[in-house]
């Protein structure tokens, strides 16, 4: 029988348990209420933002690149609308199904399909995979019509680079292509604005002016559903296009230069002798930079890379060549300036039978029967090697080097504008001692006097040298980028002691082109409006042996890689000079028969375009 005290104990125990359970419930409920209050009131903004992030997506678009224009305002590097297909793997429910659907819709080849799969492995799951860079309108429409079945797929109208003049400007402008890891790491601006599909400059002015051209990103904000599909656009913030950069170059002259060098390896440079404006600078062969915008195919790349004429090399800036006889105006000027010779000084050229001989070494003139007695004018006209051997010997390499450097040889013409521009080489006694650890030899001075030996120049340096001879010996600073604040002709310090000396050289160059027996006489223009003065050059690429001299082969009979380079420098119109020209044809043979005839066609166009250029400048000022 249970006592009353036991019942009381049980009741107390039950009451205690009920109290504990009730207290626990109150505490838990209070905790839940306080937590809900904290989340919904105190942390309202934070979770509202997180909610919005799940509901609202932001896309950063590639910035619109700035344009390049020629002197007349023609767009030479611009942009066009490209239809692209983007996909973010983590937003796709079934990647394999989706990518196979895309393959069928676009009819991708197995090679193209495998390339997409490879790209997918190289990126993070949240990064944009560009399935197609440049869709046709038909395929772009097909994708849009099938979006209901393609979660995470984004048809995008993007802005991409376009080079309307194709190969004409490749070696000046360079090209753009997909930004890689090195581009991002080396440039903070690219890093900040990077999105998948961003194109950046790889070489040339596209790379030099990257920070000016790149522009700023546009931002799109969209509301999306639970599957990440866009429902509606909430906002669009348009970015700024990059700067427009205007060049001094004339597209019509670039076009003609390309035509004149068709199927040849070489360079044509044209420069205003007063302003320093480069109105043409073409390297041949060239290639279409549009091929690189969306990634060049392996086959196309191999065709360019393996071309024996080396289209990837900018011969105007990076080609180091012996100047040959085009150096003779500088040799003559240096001898006159240093009072080594005068116009009455003569040398007897006896040709192959009686060459100049020093220390057992024979130095031949190019003309087999010789030139007889020649003074400076006649030696320049007929390009007599013997005469220039003798005045180089009297002058010495150090004095010749000093004059050559004054006139632009041996250093970059454009400074830091092009990373691949070469300095060339103007040797002297100190250079050889420091570079090779040997003393200078007299024979080396003699061959330097005809532009052979150690001396190396670029075509643009020869153009600058000629321009400074043509303007009376005044220093100019070549320009490719048009400076809006300085359109007037600049006047610079003189490079010569006496104007008379440079006039003697200019007259000698005139005789070389416009008088009988002149080496470029067949390329003359009789009309004073177009008449020019020039100097031919034939630069050896290998030492001429006694056997070679005896064989006396025609250029066509010599293997291509062993043929001499053909060069020509000129300025005109002669009576009122305004432009200088340098022409190089690799392995072309004789400068008089290959390079000089190109100048005849070029100068007519140059002079005619000058009038158009002047009128354009006048009208521009009147419209301001």
In a domain, 21, yes or no: no
DSSP assigned state of 481: B
In-domain check, residue 1: no
* Separation of alpha carbons 588 and 500, rounded Å: 35
Determine the pLDDT at residue 1: 47
207/282 same-domain check: no
Looking up tokens 């509202």 gives 48
Would you state the structure tokens that stand for residue 16, as one six-digit string? 């205690």
Does 46 reside within a domain? no
C-beta of residue 274 within 8 angstroms of C-beta of residue 578 = yes
602 part of a folded domain: yes
Residues 516 and 575 in one domain: yes
The domain total for the chain is 2
For 52-204, list the strands marked E by DSSP. Answer: 56-60, 68-69, 75-87, 129-135, 153-162, 176-178, 199-201
Give the Cα separation of 71 and 248 in Å (integer).
5
pLDDT of residue 50: 45
Domain boundary among 209, 226, 246: 246
The mean pLDDT value for 319-339 works out to 96
CA distances from residue 317 to 414, 470, 489, 546, 620 in whole angstroms, order as listed: 9, 21, 25, 34, 32
Looking at the predicted structure, is the pLDDT value of residue 341 above 60?
Answer: yes
Is there a single domain that holds both residue 110 and residue 157? Answer: yes
The span from the CA of 369 to the CA of 109, in Å, is 68
Query: Is the model more confident about 66 or about 239?
Result: 66
Q: H-helix or E-strand containing 141?
A: helix 137-145
Tell me whether residue 49 is in a domain. Answer: no
Q: Give the three-state DSSP class for 265.
A: coil
pLDDT 10s digits, 263-294: 999 999 999 999 999 999 999 999 999 999 88
| CATH number for 261 | 3.40.710.10
Please tell me whether residues 133 and 153 are part of one structural domain: yes
CA nearest to 530, candidates 577, 568, 489, 595: 577
- Do residues 219 and 255 share a domain? no
Q: Tell which of 246, 275, 291 closes a domain.
A: 246
Answer yes or no: is pLDDT of 517 > 90. Answer: yes
pLDDT at 551: 46
Q: Where are the alpha helices (DSSP H) in 297-375?
A: 298-305, 315-318, 328-337
- For residues 240-261, give the mean pLDDT: 96
Cα(604)–Cα(252) distance, integer angstroms: 12
- Judgement on whether residues 204 and 78 belong to the same structural domain of the protein: yes
Residues 219 and 355 in one domain: no
State the average pLDDT over residues 92-103: 82
My answer on whether 165 and 277 are in the same domain is no
Is the domain of 284 the same as that of 191?
Answer: no
Q: What is the pLDDT of residue 623?
A: 58
DSSP string, 368-433: TT--EEE-HHHHHHHT-HHHHHHHHHHH-HHHHHHHHHHTTTTS-SSTTS-TT----B---HHHHH
Q: Do the bridges between strand 199-201 and strand 176-178 make them parallel or antiparallel, or are there none, so unpaired?
A: antiparallel
Distance CA 64, CA 84 (A): 15
461 versus 486: which is more confidently predicted? 461
Indicate the average pLDDT of the chain.
Answer: 86
In-domain check, residue 179: yes
User: By the 8 A CB rule, do 562 and 474 touch?
Assistant: no
Which residues neighbour 124 within 8 Å (Cβ) at sequence distance 6 or greater?
none
Q: Is the pLDDT of residue 408 over 50?
A: yes
Give the residue carrying structure tokens 């061959």.
Answer: 447
- For residue 5, is it within any domain? no
The set of residues, in sequence order, having a beta carbon less than 8 Å from that of 508 and lying 6+ positions away, is 329, 332, 376, 377, 380, 381
Q: Packing angle between helix 385-395 and helix 397-406, nearest 10 degrees?
A: 100
Asked if residue 401 belongs to a domain, the reply is yes
pLDDT single digits (tens) 570-607? 999 999 999 999 999 999 988 999 999 999 999 999 99
- What was the pLDDT predicted at 22? 77
| Helix (H/G/I), strand (E/B), else coil: 240 | coil
Structure confidence at residue 488 (pLDDT): 45
Tokens found for residue 553: 């082969």
Q: Which domain holds residue 515?
A: 251-299+314-623
SS3 of 534-601: the string is EEEEEECCCCCCHHHHHHCCCHHHCCHHHCCEEEEEEEECCCCCCEEEEEEECCCCCHHHHHHHHHHH
Closest CA to 610 of 69, 71, 167, 68: 71
Taking only the tens place, the pLDDT of each residue in 414-423 is 999 999 999 9
Q: Which of 246, 265, 286 is the last residue of a domain?
A: 246
Position 3 pLDDT exceeds 90: no
Mean pLDDT of 611-618: 86
371, two tokens = 């030139």
């Amino acid at each position: 029988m249970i006592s009353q005290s036991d019942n009381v104990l049980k009741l107390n125990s039950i009451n205690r348990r009920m109290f504990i359970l009730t207290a626990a419930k109150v505490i838990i409920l209070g905790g839940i209420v306080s937590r809900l209050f904290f989340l919904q009131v105190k942390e309202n903004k934070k979770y509202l933002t997180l909610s919005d992030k799940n509901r609202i997506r932001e896309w950063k678009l590639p910035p619109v690149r700035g344009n390049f224009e020629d002197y007349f305002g023609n767009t030479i590097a611009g942009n066009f609308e490209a239809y692209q297909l983007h996909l973010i793997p983590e937003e796709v429910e079934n990647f394999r199904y989706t990518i196979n659907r895309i393959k069928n819709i676009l009819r991708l080849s197995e090679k193209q399909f495998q390339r997409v799969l490879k790209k997918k492995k190289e990126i993070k799951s949240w990064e944009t995979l560009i399935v197609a860079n440049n869709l046709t309108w038909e395929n772009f429409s097909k994708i849009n019509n099938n979006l209901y079945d393609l979660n995470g797929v984004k048809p995008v109208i993007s802005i991409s680079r376009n080079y309307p003049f194709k190969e004409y400007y490749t070696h000046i402008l360079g090209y753009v292509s997909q930004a890689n890891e090195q581009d991002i790491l080396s440039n903070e601006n690219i890093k900040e604005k990077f999105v998948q599909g961003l194109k950046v400059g790889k070489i040339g002015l596209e790379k030099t002016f990257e920070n000016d051209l790149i522009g700023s990103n546009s931002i799109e904000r969209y509301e999306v559903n639970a599957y990440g599909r866009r429902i509606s656009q909430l906002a669009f913030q348009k970015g700024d296009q990059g700067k427009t950069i205007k060049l001094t170059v004339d597209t019509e002259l670039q076009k003609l230069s390309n035509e004149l060098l068709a199927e040849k390896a070489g360079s044509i440079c044209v420069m205003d002798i007063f302003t320093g404006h480069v109105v043409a600078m073409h390297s041949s062969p060239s290639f279409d930079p549009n091929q690189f915008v969306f990634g060049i195919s392996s086959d196309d790349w191999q065709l360019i890379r393996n071309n024996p004429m080396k289209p990837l090399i900018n011969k105007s800036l990076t080609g180091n060549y012996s100047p040959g006889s085009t150096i003779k105006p500088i040799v003559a000027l240096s001898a006159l300036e240093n009072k080594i010779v005068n116009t009455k000084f003569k040398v007897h050229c006896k040709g192959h039978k009686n060459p100049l001989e020093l220390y057992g070494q024979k130095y031949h003139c190019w003309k087999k029967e010789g030139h007889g007695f020649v003074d400076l004018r006649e030696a320049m006209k007929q390009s007599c090697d013997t005469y220039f051997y003798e005045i180089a010997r009297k002058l010495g390499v150090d004095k010749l080097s000093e004059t050559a450097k004054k006139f632009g040889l041996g250093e970059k013409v454009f400074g830091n504008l092009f990373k691949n521009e070469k300095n060339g080489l103007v040797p002297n006694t100190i250079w050889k001692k420091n570079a090779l650890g040997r003393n200078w030899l007299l024979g080396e001075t003699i061959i330097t006097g005809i532009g052979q030996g150690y001396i190396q120049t670029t075509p643009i340096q020869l153009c600058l040298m000629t321009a400074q001879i043509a303007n009376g010996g005044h220093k100019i600073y070549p320009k490719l980028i048009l400076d809006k604040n300085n359109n007037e002709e600049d006047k610079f310090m003189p490079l010569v002691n006496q104007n008379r000396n440079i006039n003697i050289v200019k007259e000698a160059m005139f005789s070389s082109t416009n008088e009988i027996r002149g080496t470029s006489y067949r390329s003359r223009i009789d009309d004073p409006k177009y008449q020019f003065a020039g100097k031919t050059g034939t630069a050896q690429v290998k030492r001429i042996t006694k056997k070679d001299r005896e064989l006396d082969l025609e250029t066509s009979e010599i293997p291509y890689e062993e043929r001499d380079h053909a060069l020509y420098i000129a300025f005109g119109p002669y009576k009122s000079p305004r432009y200088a020209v340098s022409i190089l044809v690799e392995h072309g043979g004789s400068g008089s028969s290959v390079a000089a005839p190109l100048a005849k066609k070029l100068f007519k166009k140059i002079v005619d375009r000058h009038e158009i250029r002047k009128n354009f400048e006048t009208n521009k000022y009147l419209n301001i």
